[in-house]
């Protein structure tokens, strides 16, 4: 435990005015779409930035930094971490530390992500907006804190998303001047490219906490309530195979079978063909044997 964390049985605090203000301001900014309008190019940028940053959360923050389910070089590790910070979900050290804690205590009193214990709202977003859990659980991520460049990203984790927002604005300004027939503007691109895609990214990510422990099928008898959910797997590029993941979290692929769509796994496979990542860990035979006995 670290300063500001809740002890087992202690009531969690729900309000942090600054975090709540920024979080809801990002949501409210989406309503600016009523004034700036929409264009097909803005919609494409919105989808692209959602897709890329969702991979940064699922394929990087989760599968690499939290579970070390594949290997990469130190320079590419930094580039992946930098990409992850653009998702505006803090740095890789903070993210991985809380996720590792979740796996240690899944669906128990100490699991702040559990909708079973603390309700859907707190599991979905309440814990993120609370006055607690502001700092990483450093005792759980000593393998990450040894890298000064990751510590630097952690310290300045707000800078990359701010720069991304600025970049989307000026992309719109440039497109308006160079290709006015596209019908986009700086404000429009900022709203759709950054604010709308970020809000969708937030809730896509948070749905794994709140709904994959409530809705779906259980292939494996894990010690928690994790479930597999195809719809959430599509929304989150593969994270919806949550029961698979909780039964064997060391696997890079979370869709254990070819018919379980896992887009993050496909992307990491391509990166492995390029030599940028390697040693993608797979479920051992005993996992498939267990599934066969249970089916």
Q: For residue 63, tell me if it sits in a domain.
A: yes
pLDDT given for residue 247 in this prediction: 94
* Percentage of the chain exceeding pLDDT 90: 74
Q: Is residue 190 domain-resident?
A: yes
Number of domains in the chain: 1
**According to the model, what pLDDT value does residue 295 have?**
47
Does residue 122 lie within any of the structural domains? yes
**pLDDT tens digits, one per residue of 176-220:** 999 999 999 999 999 999 999 999 999 999 999 889 999 999 999
The answer to whether position 3 is within a domain reads no
pLDDT of residue 133: 81
Neighbouring-strand partners of residue 71? 278
The yes-or-no verdict on residue 250 having pLDDT over 60 is yes
* Average predicted confidence (pLDDT) for the chain: 91
Q: For the whole model, what pTM was predicted?
A: 0.92
200: containing domain:
17-23+32-294
Q: Label each residue of the chain as H, E or C.
A: CCCCCCCCCCCCCCCCHHHHHHHHHHHHHHHHHHHHCCCHHHHHHHHHHHHHHHHHHHHHHHHHHHCCCCEECHHHHHHHHHHHHCCCCCCHHHHHHHHHHHHHCCCCCCCCCCHHHHCHHHHHHHHHHCCCCCCCCHHHCHHHHCCHHHHHHHHCCCHHHHHHHHHHHHHHHHHHHHCHHHCCCHHHHHHHHHHHHHHHHHHHHHHHHHHCCCCCECCCCCCCCCCECHHHHHHCCCCCEHHHHHHCCCCCCCCCCCCCCCHHHHHHHHHHHCCCEECCCCCCHHHHHHHHHHC
Read off the pLDDT band of 293 (50, 70, 90).
Answer: low
Closest CA to 18 of 119, 161, 153, 134: 134
Residue 198 lies in a domain: yes
At 146-183, the pLDDT tens digits run 999 999 999 999 999 999 999 999 999 999 999 999 99
Confirm whether 148 is domain-assigned: yes
What's the confidence (pLDDT) of residue 169? 98
pLDDT at position 294, please? 62
Whether 4 is in a domain gets the answer: no
Q: What does the chain come to in residues?
A: 295
**Band of pLDDT at residue 113, cut at 50, 70 and 90:** confident
What would the pLDDT profile of 78-100 be if each residue is shown by its tens digit? 999 999 999 999 999 999 999 99
Within-domain flag for 5: no
């Amino acid at each position: 435990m670290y300063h500001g964390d809740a002890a087992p049985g202690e009531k969690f605090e729900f309000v942090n005015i600054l975090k709540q203000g920024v979080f809801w301001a990002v949501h409210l900014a989406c309503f600016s779409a009523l004034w700036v309008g929409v264009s097909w190019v803005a919609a494409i940028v919105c989808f692209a930035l959602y897709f890329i940053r969702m991979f940064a959360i699922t394929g990087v923050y989760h599968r690499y930094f939290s579970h070390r389910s594949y290997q990469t070089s130190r320079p590419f590790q930094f580039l992946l971490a930098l990409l992850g910070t653009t998702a505006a979900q803090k740095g890789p050290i903070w993210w991985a530390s809380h996720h590792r804690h979740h796996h240690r205590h899944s669906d128990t009193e100490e699991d702040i992500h559990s909708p079973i214990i603390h309700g859907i709202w707190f599991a979905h977003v309440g814990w993120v907006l609370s006055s607690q859990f502001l700092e990483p659980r450093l005792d759980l991520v000593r393998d990450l804190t040894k890298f000064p460049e990751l510590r630097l990203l952690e310290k300045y984790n707000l800078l990359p998303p701010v720069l991304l927002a600025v970049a989307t604005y000026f992309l719109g300004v440039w497109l308006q001047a160079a290709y006015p027939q596209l019908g986009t503007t700086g404000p429009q691109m900022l709203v759709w490219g950054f604010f709308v895609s970020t809000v969708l990214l937030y809730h896509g990510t948070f749905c794994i906490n709140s709904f994959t422990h409530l809705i779906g099928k259980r292939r494996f008898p894990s010690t928690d309530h994790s479930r597999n959910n195809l719809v959430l797997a599509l929304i989150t590029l593969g994270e919806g195979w949550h029961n698979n993941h909780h039964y064997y979290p060391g696997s890079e692929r979370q869709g254990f079978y070819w018919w379980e769509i896992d887009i993050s796994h496909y992307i990491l496979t391509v990166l492995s063909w390029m030599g940028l990542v390697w040693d993608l860990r797979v479920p051992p035979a005993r996992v498939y044997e267990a599934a066969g006995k249970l089916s």
